[in-house]
Structure 1
Amino acid sequence: MTQVARPPRTDTGQRRGLAARVSLGRIFTPPSNEFVLIASTALLLTVFGIIMVISATSATESGVMDTAIKQAMFAAIGIPMMFLVSRLPIAFLKKMAWPALILATMLQLLVFIPGIGVENDGNRNWINVAGFSLQPSEFLKLAIALWVAYVLLRKRVLLGIWHHVFIPVIPVSLLAIGTVMAGHDLGTVMVLVLILLGCLFFAGVKLRLFIIPVLLGVVGVAALAVLSPDRMRRISAVCTDMTNYENDCYQSIHAVWGMANGGIFGLGLGNSQEKYGWLPAAANDFIFAIVGEELGLIGGLVVLALFTFFAVGAFHIMRKTTDPFVRVAAGGITVWIIGQALINIGVVIGIFPVLGVPLPFMSQGGTALLAVLLACGVLLAFARTIPAPARGKVTR
């Protein structure tokens, strides 16, 4: 009997098997502490927000189920997308910086097209598509953070020269932010300016070069305020007494009353009194007042603690990363989410005038929730790039 000679083994099969094992190893690699911290806080805040939106809208005529289903639907879309974006390579995110900014700006320009753009309380910052209201400026926040980080990455050795810092960052950013300014949305403009300044700061730009961007931002915000009599009246209103109760201070006073009624332990979930027609936008910009009324000081501190843990995870990414793009983009996203949360809470407790800025993760609004979950996905993608020694591995 003759034996058939076997072909000699090559290293190709071995290399393929090794590549497969390495690929599987990357998939099942335990996530970093920063990944777990950001993902868990984002999920907890989202679920917490859905519960509070259901509670805040339970007294509305439209019915709680319609609102709850819409909010839960956007969460059901945004959470998987968050984890999907977390698997994207950093090189792909860099390539998408310019297309994302262009696409987001084009979407924002749709608000000025009759029949598509929607105006609400003097602000033209929404579009109506197939019965759904979308706010394109929410996606512009993420696009600006990625784009500025990408441009500053390519100029990282020239950041000590002012014109290399400002061109094209400042003109292009102002052009994109100008599309929101044209819609008279002062709160969103302030957040976008914060993102721009945050990116410049975490890029290591010298503080003396911040003078021009800060002045431009102040001039822009002041122009928006002065050119709108309604907005100027709200900004100049003093809400420390009852003389302006039925006018500009109505929302602020009722928000403070609601939180005062909550005390330390709150009135109980679902037992808010302000949501019964007393507090406008109870499920939107003033959701934190409902949290304070129903869950008390403890509930408010829990929300603040979750945002604090989120910030800690994001700052750890910035501290441990070796990629300037990751550091700058993560800084811009963190300034966006944490800064917007502080502005919203400041409005609710009466520190700031009413600016129309939602509380990230928690306020009613599908576009805002979807955008912030996508931004969290980018942060999670950054968390996967943290070098192994920085993940707490013990070296011998």
Structure 2
Amino acid sequence: MTTTTPPTRPAADGPDDAATSGFAARVSLGRVFAPVSSEFLLVASTALLLTGFGLMMVLSATMASAMAAGQSPFEVVMKQAIFAVIGIPLMFIASRLPVTFWKRIAWPALIAATCFQMLVFVPGLGVANDGNQNWIQIGGIQAQPSEFLKLALALWLGYVLFRKQTLLGSWAHVFIPVVPVGGLVIGLVAVGSEDLGTGMILMAILLGCLFFSGVKLRIFIIPLIVVVVSAVFFAVTNSNRMARIMSSFVNFDSMDCYNAAVGDCYQAVHGVWALANGGLFGLGLGNSREKYGWLPARSNDYIFAILGEELGLVGCAVVLLLFTVFAIAAFQIIRKTRDPFIRIVTGGIIVWIVGQALVNIGVVLRLLPVLGVPLPFMSQGGTSLLSVLFACGVLLSFARTIPVGPASTATAAEPLPRRR
């Protein structure tokens, strides 16, 4: 008698396969929600807090002037909020990209950002604002291309110096192509800008990347001298820039400072008065007096003055603390990484964001001349906010490469290169 074996059911229909599929799904979700380093959490949280703080201050600084112009009090802050809504998801999307992506995109990003910057010189597209030919206008959207140049330059410098790691003992390999290309990028910005601030930030990014690449100090001093000489040259060859510098210090007590029509130091005076009005605890959120037409750049370059007036020294200290935590987290990425590319690019981004914040605050405190740079995360300006949040996404992508848990203590961080 012949017996027939019943057909075997496909494995896909069996309970074992269901268990395997469920396990695969759990693994996939585990990768999405994998634990991240403390540096990741600190960079992300400070970026979000500073962005929220900035939206609050932009609303407070602009609602009076918007209502006086017959607009909604939320007119300006809603435009800023749109860029925040775009920039924050973009930051977390960028954080998922691998380091190899940032290396591959370095050259195309710099070329694209440079071409974008050259659009400011195209008639019909380029827009002058307070003497600066540094914006483009497309329909109802205005953008500042130089903000994207900052990140593109940091990525490009990181890639080039990473590829030349074994050759950085020679000044020729340090200078070529870093100095010619960097000089071209900085020159494009300086030519169209009456304010020296953006050009100086780009110079600082170049120096920061060179420093964190481990180049020898005897070679590093040469580009440092070139940058200083270039900054002085751009300052003394432009009468408007010199007037801003002189008015910030020499003529601060002149009667012209109290006349908005003729006084170059008018804004600096009212910025100091705003901080003085705030005292220790401030006048209260929304109670600034200087924002009622006295302080022209109240929502962008001088937003820190409105912050000090409304929230006092305590509010200013909180913002400074957030920038300090941001800097510490970024420096921890540099300390723990083994990849020179990550170290160099992170150093450039730190110099850009933290350095620009210090410059902006120094201008408001009258420690520096008026340089025309916004306060990162907080000043009104969608392009600036978008570029800074995207740069934070790059830092978050780097932070994901740092081991988490016991592995992080077992893995010794590569020491910074020795200099001579």
Instruction: Specify which of 200, 222, 233 is matched with residue 232 of structure 2.
Output: 222
* Structure 1 runs (4+) greater than 2 angstroms displaced: 1-9, 13-26, 61-64, 237-244, 387-395
Instruction: Specify which of 247, 272, 296 is matched with residue 312 of structure 2.
Output: 296
For residues 363 and 192 of structure 2, what CA distance do their matches in structure 1 show?
21
Amino acid at match of 1:291: L
Instruction: Specify which of 104, 117, 140 is matched with residue 126 of structure 2.
Output: 117
Q: Who is 1:71 aligned against?
A: 80
Amino acid at match of 2:37: S
For residues 407 and 114 of structure 2, what CA distance do their matches in structure 1 show?
37
Q: Who is 1:338 aligned against?
A: 354
Query: Residue by residue, what CA displacement relative to the aligned partner does 1:11-59 show, whole Å, maximum 9, x if unpaired?
Result: xx89998876554332221121001100000000000000000000012
Q: Is the 8 A contact 2:58 2:378 kept in 1?
A: yes
For residues 206 and 89 of structure 2, what CA distance do their matches in structure 1 show?
28
For residues 95 and 17 of structure 1, what CA distance do their matches in structure 2 show?
36
Identity, % of aligned pairs?
63
| Residues 1:366 and 2:382 aligned together | yes
Q: Is the 8 A contact 1:138 1:371 kept in 2?
A: yes
TM-score relative to the length of structure 1:
0.94
For residues 273 and 187 of structure 1, what CA distance do their matches in structure 2 show?
28
Q: Is the 8 A contact 2:36 2:404 kept in 1?
A: no
Amino acid at match of 1:107: F
For residues 388 and 272 of structure 1, what CA distance do their matches in structure 2 show?
45
Instruction: Specify which of 135, 138, 161 is matched with residue 170 of structure 2.
Output: 161
Residues 289, 334 of structure 1: alpha-carbon distance in 2 compared, 3 angstrom cutoff: same
Q: Give matches, 1:17-96, under 5 Å.
A: 22-60=27-65, 61-62=68-69, 63=71, 64-96=73-105
Query: Residue by residue, what CA displacement relative to the aligned partner does 1:355-380 show, whole Å, maximum 9, x if unpaired?
Result: 11000000000000000000000000
Q: Who is 2:417 aligned against?
A: none
Query: Residue by residue, what CA displacement relative to the aligned partner does 1:301-358 show, whole Å, maximum 9, x if unpaired?
Result: 0000000010011001000011111111011001100000000000000001111100
Unaligned runs of 5+ in 2: 12-16, 412-420
For residues 240 and 356 of structure 1, what CA distance do their matches in structure 2 show?
18
Residues 27, 130 of structure 1: alpha-carbon distance in 2 compared, 3 angstrom cutoff: same
Q: CA RMSD in A?
A: 2.2
Residues 239, 75 of structure 1: alpha-carbon distance in 2 compared, 3 angstrom cutoff: farther
Instruction: Specify which of 241, 258, 270 is matched with residue 253 of structure 2.
Output: 241
Q: Is the 8 A contact 2:402 2:408 kept in 1?
A: no
For residues 37 and 190 of structure 2, what CA distance do their matches in structure 1 show?
39
For residues 406 and 152 of structure 2, what CA distance do their matches in structure 1 show?
28
What is the SS of the residue equivalent to 1:125?
strand
Q: Who is 1:201 aligned against?
A: 211
Residues 338, 197 of structure 1: alpha-carbon distance in 2 compared, 3 angstrom cutoff: same
Q: Who is 2:414 aligned against?
A: none
Instruction: Specify which of 356, 369, 392 is matched with residue 372 of structure 2.
Output: 356
Q: Is the 8 A contact 1:321 1:327 kept in 2?
A: yes
Q: Is the 8 A contact 1:148 1:169 kept in 2?
A: yes
What is the SS of the residue equivalent to 1:165?
helix
Q: Give the number of the structure whose alpha-carbon radius of gyration is greater.
A: 2
Measure how far apart 1:243 and its partner are. 3.8
Residues 278, 21 of structure 1: alpha-carbon distance in 2 compared, 3 angstrom cutoff: same
For residues 251 and 397 of structure 2, what CA distance do their matches in structure 1 show?
44
Measure how far apart 1:217 and its partner are. 1.3
| Residues 1:254 and 2:254 aligned together | no
Q: Who is 1:142 aligned against?
A: 151
What is the SS of the residue equivalent to 2:30?
helix
Unaligned runs of 5+ in 1: none
Q: Who is 1:378 aligned against?
A: 394
Query: Residue by residue, what CA displacement relative to the aligned partner does 1:260-306 show, whole Å, maximum 9, x if unpaired?
Result: 11000000000000001111110010000000000000000000000
What is the SS of the residue equivalent to 2:133?
strand
Amino acid at match of 2:234: L
Residues 173, 22 of structure 1: alpha-carbon distance in 2 compared, 3 angstrom cutoff: farther
For residues 192 and 218 of structure 1, what CA distance do their matches in structure 2 show?
13
Instruction: Specify which of 257, 260, 266 is matched with residue 282 of structure 2.
Output: 266
For residues 127 and 339 of structure 2, what CA distance do their matches in structure 1 show?
40
Amino acid at match of 1:48: F
Residues 384, 162 of structure 1: alpha-carbon distance in 2 compared, 3 angstrom cutoff: same
How many residues align structurally?
393
Residues 373, 6 of structure 1: alpha-carbon distance in 2 compared, 3 angstrom cutoff: same
Q: Is the 8 A contact 1:266 1:292 kept in 2?
A: yes
